[in-house]
Amino acid sequence: MLKNVHFGPSVLPFLLVAPQIIVTIIFFIWPAGQALYQSLLIQDAFGLKTEFVWLENFGILFSEEQYRNSFGRTVVFSSLVAILSMSFALILAVLADRVIKGAGTYRTFLIWPYAVAPVTAGALWVFMFDPTLGIVTYGLSAMGYDWNHKLNGGEAMALVVMAAAWKQVAYNFLFFLAGLQSIPKSLIEAAAIDGAGPVRRFRDIIFPLLSPTTFFLLVINIVYAFFDTFGIVHVMTAGGPAGATNILVYKVFSDGFVGLDLGGSAAQSVILMIIVIGLTVVQFKYVEKKVAY
Amino acid sequence: MSIFKKLFVPAVLAAVASSTGLASAATEVQWWHAMGGTNGERVNKIAADFNATQSEYKVVPTFKGNYTETMTAAIAAFRAKKQPHIVQVFEVGTATMMAAKGAVYPVEQMMKDAGEPFDKSQYLPAVISYYQTSGGELLSMPFNSSTPVLWYNADAFKKAGVASVPKTWPEMKTASEKLVAAGYKCGFSFGWQSWVMVENFSAWHNLPMGTEENGFKGTNTIFEFDNDIVKTHMANLQDWSKNKLFVYGGRRGDSLSMFTNGECGMWMNSSAYYGSIKKQAKFEFGQSMLPFYPNVIKSPQNSIIGGATLWVLKGKKADEYKGVAQFMNYLSSPEVQAWWHQETGYVPITTPAYELSKKQGFYKSNPGTDTAIKQLSLNTPTPNSRGIRFGNFVQIRDVINEEMEAIWSGDKTGAAGMDEAAKRGDVLLRKFERANGS
Express each pLDDT in B345-382 by its tens digit.
Answer: 888 888 899 999 999 999 988 888 889 989 988 988 88
Give the CB-side neighbour count of residue B368, counting CA atoms within 13 A.
17
Contacts of A261 in chain B (CB under 8 A): 392, 395, 431, 435
B140 with B173, same domain: the answer is no
pLDDT at A101 over 80: no
Is B283 part of a structural domain of the chain?
yes
Lowest average pLDDT, out of A141-145, A216-220, B1-5, goes to: B1-5
**Which tens digit of pLDDT belongs to each residue from A147-190?**
888 878 889 999 999 999 998 998 999 899 999 988 888 988 89
DSSP category for residue A146: -
Residue B380: predicted pLDDT: 85
- Give pLDDT, residue A1: 60
Give A-chain residues touching B424 at CB under 8 angstroms.
66
B72: which chain A residues are within 8 Å (Cβ-Cβ)? 257-258, 260
Closest CA to B341 of B351, A275, A186, B59: B351
Highest average pLDDT, of A110-119, A184-193, B112-121, B292-301, comes from B292-301
CATH architecture of A58-290: Orthogonal Bundle (1.10)
Residue among B167, B125, B141, B176 at smallest CA distance from B376: B125
CB contact under 8 A, A48 and B248: no
Instruction: Tell whether the model's pLDDT for residue B206 goes beyond 70.
Output: yes
A151 vs B contacts (CB less than 8 Å)? 248, 405, 408-409
What pLDDT does residue B289 have?
95
Same domain, B123 and B252: no
**Which CATH number do you get for residue B415?**
3.40.190.10
The pLDDT tens digits for B98-148 are 888 889 999 999 999 988 888 888 888 878 888 888 788 899 998 988 999
SS3 content of chain A, % helix, strand, coil (to 5): 75, 0, 25
Does residue B179 belong to any structural domain of this protein? Answer: yes
Q: Specify the 3-state DSSP secondary structure of B63.
A: strand
Q: Is the pLDDT confidence value at B10 over 60?
A: no
> Chain-wide mean pLDDT for chain A?
87
For residue B409, the chain A residue with the least C-alpha distance is A151
Q: Are B285 and B418 in the same domain?
A: yes
| Averaged pLDDT for residues A131-139 | 87
What's B129's DSSP letter? G
Asked if B274 and B140 count as a contact pair (C-beta separation under 8 A), the reply is no
Q: Same domain, yes or no, for B124 and B159?
A: no
Report the residue from A66, A132, A153 with minimal CB separation from B257. A132
Tell me which chain B residues have a C-beta less than 8 angstroms from the C-beta of A56: none
Q: What percent of chain A has pLDDT over 90?
A: 29
A151: nearest CA in chain B?
B409
**Euclidean distance between CA atoms B48 and B53, whole angstroms:** 9
- How close B300 gets to chain A, by Cα (Å)? 32
Please give the full DSSP string across A149-214, using - where no structure is assigned: TTT-HHHHHHHHHHHHHHHHHHHHHHHHHHHHHTS-HHHHHHHHHTT--HHHHIIIIIHHHTHHHH
Question: What distance, in Å, lies between the first and last C-alpha atoms of chain A?
Answer: 30
The identity of residue A98, as a single letter, is R
CA distance B91 to chain A (A): 14
Q: Which residues pair with B189 in a beta bridge?
A: B267
Does residue B289 contact residue B151 with C-beta atoms inside 8 Å? no
Instruction: State the pLDDT at residue B6.
Output: 61
Confidence of residue B23 (pLDDT cuts 50, 70, 90): very low
Q: Are residues B156 and B277 in the same domain?
A: yes
In angstroms, the CA B250 to CA B338 distance is 31
pLDDT of residue A151: 76
pLDDT of B7? 61
In a domain, B270, yes or no: yes
CA distance A235 to chain B (A): 14
Residue B39 and residue B72 in one domain: yes
Same domain, B327 and B197: no
Domain borders along chain A are 58-290
Q: Is B327 a domain residue?
A: yes
| Mean pLDDT across B230-240 | 94
Residues of B in contact with A255 (CB under 8 A): 395
B437 touching chain A per CB within 8 A: yes
Backbone φ and ψ for A215, nearest 5 degrees, come out as: -60, -45
pLDDT at residue B12 in the model: 59
Give the integer Cα–Cα distance in Å for A249 and A257.
12
B77 touches chain A (CB under 8 A): no
Q: How far is B37 from chain A (nearest CA, A)?
A: 20
Nearest CA-CA distance, residue A255 and chain B, Å: 8
Is residue B436 less than 8 Å (CB to CB) from chain A? yes
- From A154, which residue of chain B is nearest by alpha-carbon distance? B409
In this prediction, residue A238 carries a pLDDT of: 84
The predicted pLDDT at position B86 comes to 95
User: Residue B28 is inside which H or E element, if any?
Assistant: strand B27-33
Q: How confident is the model at residue B156 (pLDDT cuts 50, 70, 90)?
A: very high
Query: Residue A199: its pLDDT value, please?
Result: 86
Across A260-265, average pLDDT: 86
- pLDDT number for residue B2: 58
Same domain, B159 and B232: yes
Residue in chain A nearest B72 by alpha carbon: A257
CB B265 within 8 A of CB B187: yes
- What percent of chain B shows pLDDT beyond 70? 94
Domain that includes residue B108, residue range: 24-146+306-365
Distance CA B186, CA B172 (A): 12
DSSP letter at B84 equals -
Pick from A44, A257, A259: which is nearest to B99 by CB? A44
Predicted complex: ipTM over 0.95: no
Are A100 and A236 within 8 A, CB to CB?
no
Taking the CA of residue B35 and the nearest CA in chain A, the distance in Å comes to: 18
Rounded to a whole number, what is the distance in Å from the CA of B79 to chain A's nearest CA?
6
The 3-state secondary structure of B350-418 reads: EHHHHHHHHHCCHHHHCCCCCHHHHHHCCCCCCCCCCCCCCCCHHHHHHHHHHHHHHHHCCCCCHHHHH
B191 and B258: one domain?
yes
Q: Which residues of A touch B421 (CB under 8 A)?
A: none
pLDDT cut 90: percent of chain B above it: 55
Query: Residue B216 falls within a domain, yes or no?
Result: yes
pLDDT confidence of residue B21: 44
Chain B CB contacts of A49 under 8 Å are 435-437
* Mean pLDDT lowest among A8-12, A193-197, B49-53, B147-151: A8-12
Environment class of A116 (CB within 10 Å of its CB; exposed 0-12, middle 13-18, buried 19+) = middle
CB contact under 8 A, B96 and A44: yes
Average pLDDT, chain B: 88
Subunit contact B101:A48, Cβ cutoff 8 A: yes
Instruction: Count how many residues are written for chain A.
Output: 293
**In this structure, is residue B2 part of a structural domain?**
no
Q: Strand B86-90 and strand B27-33: pairing?
A: parallel
The string of pLDDT tens digits covering residues A223-245 is 899 888 999 999 988 887 778 89
Q: For residue A2, what pLDDT is reported?
A: 65
The answer to whether B392 and A261 have CB atoms below 8 angstroms apart is yes
Same domain? B361 vs B235: no
Check if B431 contacts A (Cβ < 8 Å). Answer: yes
Q: Band the pLDDT of B22: cuts 50, 70, 90.
A: very low
Res B119: pLDDT: 87
Which pLDDT does position A95 carry in this prediction? 86
Could you tell me if B125 and B109 lie in one domain?
yes
Whether residue B241 is found in the same domain as residue B361: no
- Closest CB from B100, B257, B395 relative to A258: B395
Judged by CB atoms closer than 8 Å, whether chains meet at A242 and B408 is answered as no
Optimal mutation site among A68, A260, A262, interface B, most CBs of chain B within 10 A: A260
Chain B hits for A66, Cβ within 8 Å:
424
Flag whether residue B75 sits within 8 Å of chain A, measured between CB atoms. yes
Q: Tell me the CA end-to-end span of chain B in Å, nearest whole number.
A: 70
What's the structural domain count of chain B?
2
